[in-house]
A and B are shown apart, each in its own frame.
Chain A
């Protein structure tokens, strides 16, 4: 009842943006010792300094949020966006652009089980990092590479974020508003969520193989290819029927009503979906509109889909004076799939999440004590807790350089002077 599945597995990571950091977050959650390599010459924390532009920009979107909106002396250690994924990890600095940096990196690889990176392949080429070179240092290593497009093919060295992979995969188009140009929407990053989760699955598959055979291996994880099965039903509709779907908004091909409806208050909404005629009858009863159950326009899902605009107007008339949360309970009480659109406050105050101890209080040396979203799933016989607060920039240099790699104080001081070891970014970094 006390060990974690990945206790004893050491993971070295050079990750960016979301997919890579999410993979290592999950590995850390379940016991791996994750060492994230950063550099004082290049920010992987979205922001090194807080200036007028970061302070004023888009407050409501929370791109740059600090405790009480005070960036403090080292804003990168207080940034919500980074601290959201740095729990259960160690953070060190190392300058891989110098030959000694690569040497140190190989020393670390020698003592590690897994190396994860999600960079465009050419970046690793520049450092001379490949399966060929790393497997010479450590043949039992598992090297997980997560570029957008793979290690071969014409797009090998193309750069992109999750949103670009979603664009290539045809997802951006179908998820847009039906009545505006396809781009009129913000970025959402399901490809990154899918990538991080499946990358951990991939790592465990390679660990299983290593346990059987003793051999390490390269895993080629092209994040766009991993995402495509998540729209597999649309892909098969094209390969079977030549059908292409345009922007769908919140409609569904097989369910109606299937939309979100405004409720009482500012920007309050409820999602309602009827999977079948039974759900529809239950909804009509709750609306006290039994007359609609057998109305020719709405009596089966085909007709409801055809007349969905009319249907949405009718439902909106009913929901717009209701309180979203109360209505959600009322509909769930009779078994109609319904859910209010949560904002962040709703989540923090939600009784279900509270009963499952989803949020966890952590104390962070430079950010103070706050609640954080916790472990995403539960294992009955294993601890499910965040065991380490978000790692600050360079926080674990001493442990890794001295204890793990055996550098003495003198060498440590030299590496500090030479720009490998530090707790702050170089002044040149924006």
Chain B
């Protein structure tokens, strides 16, 4: 078996919280040696839950543990001259630096792209920020909610007469990190071919402004019509589309359109009605009175069937459908158990816990073994001593001065 694709690549990770760590997690998943530089107080993600057994403890944050598998941790105060030296020395042996500071911050410390490229002419620096390296908002604050509100199609999410909805959790930030990993990979590939360094500028704002998740469709539609998209109940895919209550929960069905609607009618035993109006007329299908008529027999029919029955029937008939699961349903789903998706990872503070698995499988190379997220500063001494050749005395002095 050959090496994993990023084996031999080193990524110096100067990020915290969500976006940057998700990016370097992808790099680590496919073989990169990720050295996570944490402030002496730790990545603030360590202070954010969910905590193991709800104990607020820097080694028990589920958020941190999830985002930082397969990385090494080193504490360094980069606002000190010695700390900056350590970063410069590590940058020399790194292929990639990922950072998520406000634009200009690293430049002020002498650690910006222009500085690093002088000491490592093939360096790739990926900056993952709220709004990018330039422009009037570049220093603005943001959270997953406020950035999603500005960047994404939040305004069209939800019901017309209610308020717009976000997409829960840290998904939008994680996706920014996901795209940053892709951007970084493109730069690595380019460097393989040309030897050229690169500064990659990824922002939450543009990640979502350019997202295929409705945004680009809506923006092109605006360009074409001068009309902004609006929030509307039932997103407009027509009849038999959306989430319906069923016998034991809720089920998402998408059966609108000339191909799928007849399949759904057959599935619910109404196949022979398809030759009669209004069912035989595609234009009539989207009229409110048809929708009402359809719901009058479809809703009771759904209530007689379980999620499992519906799923199987849908798949037999070629109708798109899926149960509305809880995370518990997901963890118990035989499909993912059979595929070996979940990964048990041991950690001294949490014992063995199940984590989401790899995002995809490369069939020519094995996935690396998943190693738990590092304890705060777990690898500081090892890296200083064995890789940067600091003496014990020097390390002790750095410790005493609060640099590490």
Contact = CB atoms under 8 A, between A and B. Distances in A.
A177 interface: yes
Given A6-B186, A225-B359, A226-B359, A232 B66 contact: yes
Contacts of A336: 141
B206 A356 contact: yes
B57 interface: no
Contacts of B206: 353, 356, 358, 376-377
Given A183-B242, A231-B171, A217 B362 contact: yes
A67 B172 CA distance: 31
A167 B325 CA distance: 6
Ranked 8 nearest A-B pairs via Cβ: A183-B243, A58-B236, A236-B62, A186-B235, A344-B222, A217-B364, A164-B322, A237-B50
Interface string A351-395: 111011011000000010011111111111110000000000000
Contact of A240 (B202, B353, B361): B353
Interface string A321-352: 00000000000100111111111110110011
Nearest to B258: A430
Nearest to A19: B212
Contact of B143 (A244, A275, A359, A375): A275
A172 B252 contact: yes
A48 B238 CA distance: 17
Contacts of A339: 142, 146-147, 149-150
Given A61-B229, A232-B66, A232-B356, A197 B182 contact: yes
B131 A352 contact: yes
A344 B219 contact: yes
A160 interface: yes
B145 A80 contact: no
15 contacts: A62-B222, A63-B235, A78-B224, A152-B338, A154-B335, A167-B324, A200-B182, A216-B364, A228-B356, A229-B66, A236-B63, A244-B328, A332-B141, A379-B183, A379-B201
A194 B176 CA distance: 9
B224 A238 contact: no
| Interface residue tally on B, bucketed by range | 35 or more
A288 interface: no
A91 to B, nearest CB: 17
B162 interface: yes
Interface string B171-206: 110110011111101111110111011111111011
A3 B194 contact: yes
A154 B230 contact: no
Contacts of B322: 160, 164-165, 167-168
Contacts of B156: 61, 186
Please classify the interface of chain A as helix (H, G, I), strand (E, B), loop, or mixed, using the class held by over half of its residues: mixed
Contacts of A232: 66-67, 174, 355-356
A422 B238 CA distance: 30
A192 B213 contact: yes
A245 B323 CA distance: 17
B59 to A, nearest CB: 13
Nearest to B194: A3
B348 interface: no
Interface stretch (A21-29, A109-117, A405-413): A21-29
B269 interface: no
A260 interface: yes
Contacts of B350: 240
Nearest to A159: B320
A238 B222 contact: no
Interface string A48-91: 00011100111111110111110000000010110111000000
Given A80-B224, A213-B2, 8 more contacts: A60-B232, A85-B212, A174-B169, A177-B158, A197-B175, A225-B356, A252-B145, A271-B146
A211 B225 CA distance: 46
Given A80-B220, A154-B335, A380-B201, A187 B235 contact: yes
Interface stretch (A33-41, A202-210, A289-297): A202-210
A377 B250 contact: no
A239 B165 CA distance: 27
Contacts of A157: 315
Contacts of A168: 322-323, 325, 330, 333
A14 interface: no
Contacts, number: 540
A269 B198 contact: no
Contacts of A62: 217-218, 221-222, 225, 227, 229
B270 interface: no
Most B C-beta atoms less than 10 A away, residue of A67, A164, A194, A375? A164
Contact of A188 (B159, B202, B213, B319): B213
Interface in A290-332: 332
A134 interface: no
A260 B169 contact: no
B150 A377 contact: no
Nearest to A172: B324
A173 B286 contact: no
Give the most central of B3, B157, B364: most A CB within 10 Å: B364
Nearest to A25: B212
Contacts of A378: 132-133, 200-201
B154 interface: yes
B315 A236 contact: no
A9 to B, nearest CB: 9
A400 interface: no
B158 to A, nearest CB: 6
A241 B63 CA distance: 13
Given A240-B53, A371-B223, A380-B198, A30 B186 contact: yes
Contacts of A170: 325-327, 329-330
A188 to B, nearest CB: 5
B362 A230 contact: no
A188 B157 contact: yes
A218 interface: yes
B179 to A, nearest CB: 5
Interface string B242-258: 11110000101010011
